[in-house]
Amino acid sequence: MATTGTPTKLTQKTQGGIGESTLRPDGTLKVTGEFAYSSDMWHEDMLWGQILRSTVAHAEIVSIDTSEALAQAGVYAVLTYDDLPTEVKNYGLEIQDTPVLAHGVVRHHGEPVALVAADHPETARRAAAKIKVEYKELPVVTDEASATAPDAPLLHPGRDDHHAGHVPHPNIVHRQPIVRGDADEAAKRADVIVTGEYTFGMQDQAFLGPESGLAVPAEDGGVDLYVATQWLHSDLRQIAPVLGLPEDKIRMTLSGVGGAFGGREDLSMQIHACLLALRTGKPVKIVYNRFESFFGHVHRHPAKLWYEHGATRDGRITHMKCRIVLDGGAYASASPAVVGNASSLSVGPYVIDDVDIEAIALYTNNPPCGAMRGFGAVQACFAYEAQMDKLAKALDMDPVELRQLNAMEQGTLLPTGQPVDSPAPVAELLRRVKARPLPPERQWESTEGADVRALPGGLSNTTHGEGVVRGVGYAVGIKNVGFSEGFDDYSTAKVRMEVIAGEPVATVHTAMAEVGQGGVTVHAQIARTELGVSQVTISPADTQVGSAGSTSASRQTYVTGGAVKNSCELVREKVLEIGRRKFGSYHPAWATAELLLEDGKVVTDGGEVLADLVDLLEDEAVEIEAEWRHRPTEAFDLRTGQGNGHVQYSFAAHRAVVEVDTELGLVKVIELACAQDVGKALNPLSVIGQIQGGTTQGLGVAVMEEIIVDPKTAKVRNPSFTDYLIPTILDTPTIPVDVLELADDNAPYGLRGIGEAPTLSSTPAVLAAIRNATGLELDRTPVRPEHLTGT
Amino acid sequence: MDFLRPASWEEALAAKAEHPTAVPIAGGTDVMVEINFDHRRPEYLLDLNRVGELTEWEVGGESVRLGASVPYTAIMENLRAELPGLALASHTVASPQIRNRGGVGGNLGTASPAGDAHPALLAAGAEVEAESVRGSRMIPIDEFYTGVKRNALAPDELIRAVHIKKADGPQQYSKVGTRNAMVIAVCAFGLALHPQTRTVRTGIGSAAPTPVRAKAAEEFLSAALEEGGFWESGKIITPSIAKQFAELASGGCNPIDDVRGTAKYRRHAVGIMARRTLGWTWEQYRGTARTLEGVA
Amino acid sequence: MRVNFTVNGRRQEADDVWEGESLLYVLRERLGLPGSKNACEQGECGSCTVRLDGVPVCSCLVAAGQVEGREVVTVEGLADYAKQREQSACGTGACGTSLQDAQQWSAKGSDSHTGEGTELSPIQQAFIDAGAVQCGFCTPGLLVAADEMLERTPSPSDEDIREALSGNLCRCTGYEKILDAVRLAAARQGNQEATV
């Protein structure tokens, strides 16, 4: 096949099992430009797909006229809803409410309406522009008030999904109350009570590689799809019914993924490319540009959060009440699970026995929101940590001391009644970030004057020190690891061991989406540790092997790593069986001793070499494909929120040091120190990379990142990298990281999922530092210059 | 779309005369984004990269003749003494990659109120050398900006160079953005002291439909410095003068609320920048200021 | 239209180029050089950074027609470019391929699948060694920009590095490991010069 950019096997010849900072097997390809991302795919004779999207947020589609577009030279197909091949015309992660192409109505700005395939992207763009869509605009639903008003237009009339029965209004996707103890009664014991209303802006994942992929029609009537995603099998499950093909006729291969952060958990161009490829009989490539990418994936839920905390004079928290309203936008996506996280983690890493909690997600005409790193826990952490500072102030206590006094420990009950059954070093993490020496004051000052690059405003030369005030702030957070609430969260790994060119080689094949996190590095390390080989080949991820679940929820090293470990153990057993069969009679240890595979040999636990794997295996290959799952969880009770919903937790704490130009409202973060418990660092270099990256995304939503939606029209006002700003290297401080390794005995190697926790506490730490510098209350994030200057 | 590739200035003028709708492209910073994002499909693109003289500059007795395509990087590196305000402004333009290709001609051609060079040009005093096959003319910078993204150029004219007065005193430039690098101005302010004429000039960016001077502020400050004998004495400017200058600069704005900032903030920030840049330039004038590392 | 130019030392000709195409599109879709990445197409991310006549630019903002007759270096040619620079910088004749380098070369072999054995420039190697690569989408642009910075400023301060790379967005790493990588490459470069 003349497809270029097809993923290749990654082989790495290095020593190094778990615990070592082995280097990425895809590193060389990535630094030479040879690594094939989904947008790099190319096929002879391929066409370019283009999506026509709605220009309004809520409207009836009166008519669509594609004739002029079809008449363009170089156009091969123009598809609308009427061209969908089966009765299945919607998809969705949990609720199938998202139309493949709009039918009769559009519910958000940028919703896909029609598709074009043409021989050049410009031809496709021009043709799409010639499709005439007549809209009759409808009133927009943009917030809780407009969504639940008596005459509110229903976004999805006639809902029959499994949440429809228990929500108080059809424009509420899901509602999760959690009641434990008696918050009203406990409030009577409080000496101080603090309340707050907080706003969390809409954050975009802003992964650098926009959505893209290539669909190649196959001779058997099926399709080969190369795509960047977070979960191949979830995509497949949603694509197949729409195309009317059995799943085995859609062969999906993971292409290089340019970051994900939750934004690739939902489908984007997958079905569209397949539809165009099957219609035209030609390979079709779709690549979003940055503008389209802002419409092409879900965002982090913006949220309104009401909190009340009480405490006794000595700083013991008496109770907490909160109400969290998440804006899910036009389609459900992951909203129900985000509600589950936001509610069950709304207390934070604290001991509070009496709580009254409610979280809901709305259907509105705003952009659909779903998964993003931190997933519901991020919004809650921003609010409860602001409350902690407020409470400390009201008590005239040190904010870190207050947190430590109320910090959760192993054995603490969550508001869901579930005990935390692994180490929870919350107080220790805070102690560590606090104990770190503060960075020197006025680092921008030198004998030659002020270096503006180190000052708020940076190269823009706005201050030489005038108005600059330093502030320090702390925050800590808790994130669940893995899929919760009774989801059957498993991964599959196929491991093969054989002798190639006189050397034992392990091959690991999973469907895990490597999105940059370094899962491929860790899989090779696990195989080396378990199988005692130095050479491990990581096969490209595809749907020829069982599901590996999603690269999200900080779960891949835990669950797919666990599956690789498990399959390696099964392979090892088989290898030892072969050894016993072949060599058992030569040495009694084959029957009596604990046997290990090390350095290509079978050795006893005493270190005695029994056989060389090369001699043992000869031309025999051992291969096992097996599923592995973490301990089961259960759903939260819909009325009380009680239930053992989570399997593991991840904790991180931050100390932010900022300098604020108080007159202009500009912020420079000087240092953002993090301490995190990772259970066991399988690859310390990658662990630190994850923590620093997550920390920086938290910094972004503290001071600059926000998708701004016009409240009157529900249209996105800043879908570009010119106006949706993410931190540059000049906005990012030094990020010293302190890694704790307290094993979770329930997890493989004692490890903890690590990817998300640093994103939680980074934002409130920065906000706390800005409050400390300015004395302002600051109840929203991101904080903009006008908020700091009262303008 | 047609791509016109004149090899000389004369050819460029002829092409523009023949195709007045042709869009000149040099650094590509604005034009290519519009094409990539499908905002614009000009009939003709007129590439100016092959006209070598546009990247050259000459330092004369009174002014610098700056070719329209002299990259911002070159201005920062070579003209810091002659054009300190513009050198500072150049350093705030986008990213190193863009500063390597973009020039003042592009800012003037686009005439966006957010163009970084404008406040510095207004403060220094400049004339735009526009030319067509009909002839050449000098357009004073104060008359160049005619509306939101509109300028005084005739359809057949191209910008050949900008003649900018050489600094006869300290100049400063500040720009507010919500990121510490690579950011479009929320608002910007340029200030130039002209001790020879005992005047001051200003420029405001992104706080009115066009780049503007804060003339009332200029007149107030020029008069206050004169009356108080500050030019001779070099004494510290009183806080009340600085405050009133800042307020008048603020009043010179006519901003809007948009996705980058509020009108109220823009007015406020321009006032702060006016006060600070006055402080910095006056310190420099008094000869006590230290040089600024990493500023230009 | 037709465009002739030099990419990574080789003459290239692209035919049937639409006049609105960028240099980035021509490199990626017409010349089989997808190393330069398309992440924003508006000069805001630096992922498409190439050297045009030696100068780092965003290739998404260069019209294809503007590169006629000019020289472009992309990430694919970075290792060769760095090697040539090193060789041409040596006037003494004493710094050809060292015995050690020669041995490494013969011992390494080449594995086309994974790029093992590929000769890398110092900055490329440093990015791998320092853990500066995660998803890798920003990496090509950062490498071109960082390599050029080290050419101009062999011993940069942290603020110099930050300023030089302020036009390149990364969403995965938080930039700390990227700073480490540039420091590492600078240190190695310094050591090498000290031993010559």
Say yes or no: B118 contacts chain A, CB-CB below 8 A.
no
Q: Is residue C99 in some structural domain?
A: no
The tokens 């620093």 sit on which residue?
A692
Q: With contact defined as beta carbons under 8 Å apart, do A59 and A135 qualify?
A: yes
Q: Cα–Cα distance between B241 and B294 in angstroms, integer?
A: 30
Give A448's pLDDT tier (boundaries 50, 70, 90): confident
Determine the residue among C121, C175, C182 to mutate to test chain A binding: the one whose Cβ has the most chain A Cβ atoms within 10 Å.
Answer: C175
Give yes or no for residue A741 having a pLDDT over 60: yes
Say yes or no: B47 contacts chain C, CB-CB below 8 A.
yes
Whether residue C126 is found in the same domain as residue C53 = no
The residue in chain C having the minimum alpha-carbon distance to the alpha carbon of residue A734 is C176
Q: Cα–Cα distance between B291 and B276 in angstroms, integer?
A: 16
Give C97's pLDDT tier (boundaries 50, 70, 90): very low
Determine the residue among B37, B76, B180 to mutate to test chain A binding: the one whose Cβ has the most chain A Cβ atoms within 10 Å.
Answer: B180
Give yes or no for residue A6 having a pLDDT over 90: no
Classify residue A41 as exposed, middle or buried by CB count within 10 Å of its CB (0-12, 13-18, 19+): buried
Q: Is residue C63 in some structural domain?
A: yes
C-chain CB neighbours of A42 within 8 Å are: 29, 32, 34
Mean residue pLDDT across chain C: 88
Give yes or no for residue B24 having a pLDDT over 50: yes
Fold classified for A40-138+210-257+264-296: Aldehyde Oxidoreductase; domain 3 (3.90.1170)
For A710, phi then psi, to 5°, come to -65, 120
Give A404's pLDDT tier (boundaries 50, 70, 90): very high
Complete edge-to-edge strand list for the sheet that includes strand B2-4: B2-4, B44-47, B23-25
Q: With contact defined as beta carbons under 8 Å apart, do A464 and A449 qualify?
A: yes
Give A381's pLDDT tier (boundaries 50, 70, 90): very high
| Lowest mean pLDDT, pick from A178-187, A280-289, A597-606, B20-29 | A597-606
A743-786 pLDDT, tens per residue?
A: 999 999 999 999 999 999 999 999 999 999 999 999 999 999 99
Q: Cα–Cα distance between A123 and A116 in angstroms, integer?
A: 9
User: How confident is the model at residue C194, as a pLDDT?
Assistant: 67
**Residue among A12, A37, A686 whose CB faces C114 most closely:** A12
Q: Is residue C90 in some structural domain?
A: no
Fold classified for A436-478+647-789: Aldehyde Oxidoreductase; domain 4 (3.30.365)
Fold classified for B182-285: Enolase-like; domain 1 (3.30.390)
A481-497 pLDDT, tens per residue?
A: 999 999 999 999 999 99
Give B288's pLDDT tier (boundaries 50, 70, 90): low
Determine the residue among C61, C138, C144 to mutate to test chain B binding: the one whose Cβ has the most chain B Cβ atoms within 10 Å.
Answer: C61
The residue in chain B having the minimum alpha-carbon distance to the alpha carbon of residue C17 is B3
Give yes or no for residue B120 having a pLDDT over 80: yes
Q: Is residue C34 in some structural domain?
A: yes
Q: With contact defined as beta carbons under 8 Å apart, do A467 and A581 qualify?
A: no
Say yes or no: B182 contacts chain C, CB-CB below 8 A.
yes
Q: What is the mean pLDDT of residues A721-746?
A: 97
Q: Cα–Cα distance between A690 and A698 in angstroms, integer?
A: 12
A147-186 pLDDT, tens per residue?
A: 999 999 999 999 999 999 999 999 999 999 999 999 999 9
User: How confident is the model at residue A647, as a pLDDT?
Assistant: 98
* Cβ–Cβ pairs < 8 A, chains A and B: 122
Q: Cα–Cα distance between A715 and A106 in angstroms, integer?
A: 12
Give C190's pLDDT tier (boundaries 50, 70, 90): confident
Give A446's pLDDT tier (boundaries 50, 70, 90): confident
Please report, for the domain that includes residue C121, its CATH number: 1.10.150.120
Give yes or no for residue B48 having a pLDDT over 80: yes
Residues 6+ apart with CB under 8 A from A38: A209, A212, A213, A214, A226, A227, A228, A255, A256, A257, A258
Nearest to C60 by CA among B98, B91, A31: B98
Give C98's pLDDT tier (boundaries 50, 70, 90): very low
Q: Is residue C59 in some structural domain?
A: yes
Percent of chain C clearing pLDDT 70 (strictly above): 84
Q: With contact defined as beta carbons under 8 Å apart, do C155 and C190 qualify?
A: yes
Q: Is residue C35 in some structural domain?
A: yes
Give yes or no for residue A528 having a pLDDT over 80: yes
Q: With contact defined as beta carbons under 8 Å apart, do A510 and A545 qualify?
A: yes
Q: Cα–Cα distance between B154 and B130 in angstroms, integer?
A: 9
The tokens 């200058």 sit on which residue?
B245
User: How confident is the model at residue C93, as a pLDDT?
Assistant: 42
Say yes or no: B264 contacts chain A, CB-CB below 8 A.
yes
Give yes or no for residue A220 having a pLDDT over 60: yes
Kindly report the CATH class assigned to A490-629.
alpha beta
Q: Do B181 and C166 touch (CB under 8 A)?
A: yes
Residue spans of the domains in chain B: they are 182-285
Q: Cα–Cα distance between B74 and A539 in angstroms, integer?
A: 49
User: How confident is the model at residue A14, as a pLDDT?
Assistant: 45
Q: Cα–Cα distance between C113 and C107 in angstroms, integer?
A: 17
Q: Do C29 and A42 touch (CB under 8 A)?
A: yes
Say yes or no: A452 contacts chain C, CB-CB below 8 A.
no
Nearest to B47 by CA among B35, B59, B65: B35
Partner chains of C (3+ C-beta pairs under 8 Å)? A, B
B238-274 pLDDT, tens per residue?
A: 999 999 999 999 999 999 999 999 999 999 999 999 9
Q: Is residue C64 in some structural domain?
A: yes
Number of domains making up chain C: 2
User: How confident is the model at residue C78, as a pLDDT?
Assistant: 98
Q: What is the mean pLDDT of residues C30-41?
A: 97
Give yes or no for residue B290 having a pLDDT over 60: no
**Residue among A453, A456, A460 whose CB faces B294 most closely:** A453
Q: Cα–Cα distance between A416 and A355 in angstroms, integer?
A: 10
Percent of chain A clearing pLDDT 90 (strictly above): 97
Say yes or no: A374 contacts chain C, CB-CB below 8 A.
no
The residue in chain C having the minimum alpha-carbon distance to the alpha carbon of residue A35 is C35
The residue in chain B having the minimum alpha-carbon distance to the alpha carbon of residue A726 is B179
Say yes or no: B49 contacts chain C, CB-CB below 8 A.
yes
User: How confident is the model at residue C112, as a pLDDT?
Assistant: 33
Which tokens sit at A201?
């802006």
Complete edge-to-edge strand list for the sheet that includes strand B57-59: B57-59, B63-67, B158-165, B126-132, B135-140
Please report, for the domain that includes residue C42, its CATH number: 3.10.20.30
User: How confident is the model at residue A382, as a pLDDT?
Assistant: 98
To the nearest whole angstrom, how far is the Cα of C193 from the nearest Cα of chain B? 27
Q: Do B291 and A668 touch (CB under 8 A)?
A: no
Q: Is residue C16 in some structural domain?
A: yes
User: How confident is the model at residue C192, as a pLDDT?
Assistant: 76
Say yes or no: A120 contacts chain C, CB-CB below 8 A.
yes
Give yes or no for residue B190 having a pLDDT over 50: yes
Give yes or no for residue B99 having a pLDDT over 50: yes
Q: Do C118 and A28 touch (CB under 8 A)?
A: yes
Q: Is the ipTM of this complex over 0.90?
A: yes
Q: With contact defined as beta carbons under 8 Å apart, do A464 and A455 qualify?
A: yes
B-chain CB neighbours of C60 within 8 Å are: 32, 36
Return residues 13-32 of C near A (CB < 8 Å). 18, 20-21, 28-29, 32
The residue in chain A having the minimum alpha-carbon distance to the alpha carbon of residue B180 is A458
User: How confident is the model at residue C155, as a pLDDT?
Assistant: 96
Q: Do C134 and A261 touch (CB under 8 A)?
A: no
Give yes or no for residue B133 having a pLDDT over 70: yes
User: How confident is the model at residue B287, as a pLDDT?
Assistant: 84
Q: Can you give the three-state secondary structure of B181-212, one letter per residue?
A: CCCCCCEEEEEEEECCCCEEEEEEECCCCCCE
User: How confident is the model at residue A447, as a pLDDT?
Assistant: 82
* Residue intervals in chain A for CATH 3.90.1170.50: 40-138+210-257+264-296
The residue in chain A having the minimum alpha-carbon distance to the alpha carbon of residue C131 is A685
C-chain CB neighbours of B31 within 8 Å are: 63
**Residue among B91, B179, B276 whose CB faces A731 most closely:** B179
Q: Do B180 and A703 touch (CB under 8 A)?
A: no
Q: With contact defined as beta carbons under 8 Å apart, do A748 and A759 qualify?
A: no
Q: What is the dihedral of CA C122, C128, C130, C133, to 10 degrees?
A: 120
Q: Which domain holds residue C68?
A: 3-76
Give yes or no for residue B81 having a pLDDT over 90: yes
3-state secondary structure of C185: helix
A320-358 pLDDT, tens per residue?
A: 999 999 999 999 999 999 999 999 999 999 999 999 999
User: How confident is the model at residue A11, as a pLDDT?
Assistant: 59
Give yes or no for residue C193 having a pLDDT over 80: no
Partner chains of A (3+ C-beta pairs under 8 Å)? B, C
DSSP state of A241: H
Its sign, for the CA torsion A265, A266, A272, A278, is: positive
User: How confident is the model at residue C92, as a pLDDT?
Assistant: 45
Q: Which of C48, C76, C104 is the last residue of a domain?
A: C76
Give A7's pLDDT tier (boundaries 50, 70, 90): confident
Give yes or no for residue C96 having a pLDDT over 80: no
Q: What is the mean pLDDT of residues A93-112?
A: 98
C-chain CB neighbours of B41 within 8 Å are: 20
Give B296's pLDDT tier (boundaries 50, 70, 90): very low
Q: What is the mean pLDDT of residues A469-478?
A: 98
Mean residue pLDDT across chain B: 96
C-chain CB neighbours of A207 within 8 Å are: 135, 137, 171
Show which residues on chain C lie within 8 Å of chain B, measured between beta carbons. 1, 18-20, 22, 41-44, 46, 49, 52, 55-58, 60-63, 65-66, 68, 145, 159, 163-164, 166-168
Give yes or no for residue C109 having a pLDDT over 50: no
Say yes or no: B295 contacts chain A, CB-CB below 8 A.
yes
* Residues in a beta bridge with A322: A307, A357
A-chain CB neighbours of B172 within 8 Å are: 461
Give B101's pLDDT tier (boundaries 50, 70, 90): very high
* Residue intervals in chain A for CATH 3.30.365.10: 436-478+647-789, 490-629
User: How confident is the model at residue A315, as a pLDDT?
Assistant: 98
User: How confident is the model at residue C103, as a pLDDT?
Assistant: 35
Say yes or no: C50 contacts chain A, CB-CB below 8 A.
no
Give A15's pLDDT tier (boundaries 50, 70, 90): confident
A248-262 pLDDT, tens per residue?
A: 999 999 999 999 999
User: How confident is the model at residue C105, as a pLDDT?
Assistant: 31
Give C115's pLDDT tier (boundaries 50, 70, 90): low
Q: What is the dihedral of CA B101, B291, C180, A441, to 10 degrees?
A: -140
User: How confident is the model at residue A473, as a pLDDT?
Assistant: 98
Q: Do C131 and A732 touch (CB under 8 A)?
A: no
CA distances from A658 to A246, A670, A734, A784, B44 (A): 56, 5, 12, 15, 50
Say yes or no: A684 contacts chain C, CB-CB below 8 A.
no
Give C195's pLDDT tier (boundaries 50, 70, 90): low
Say yes or no: B1 contacts chain A, CB-CB below 8 A.
no
* Residues in a beta bridge with B63: B165
* Plot region of C177 (φ>0 → left; ψ -120 to 50 → alpha; else → beta): alpha
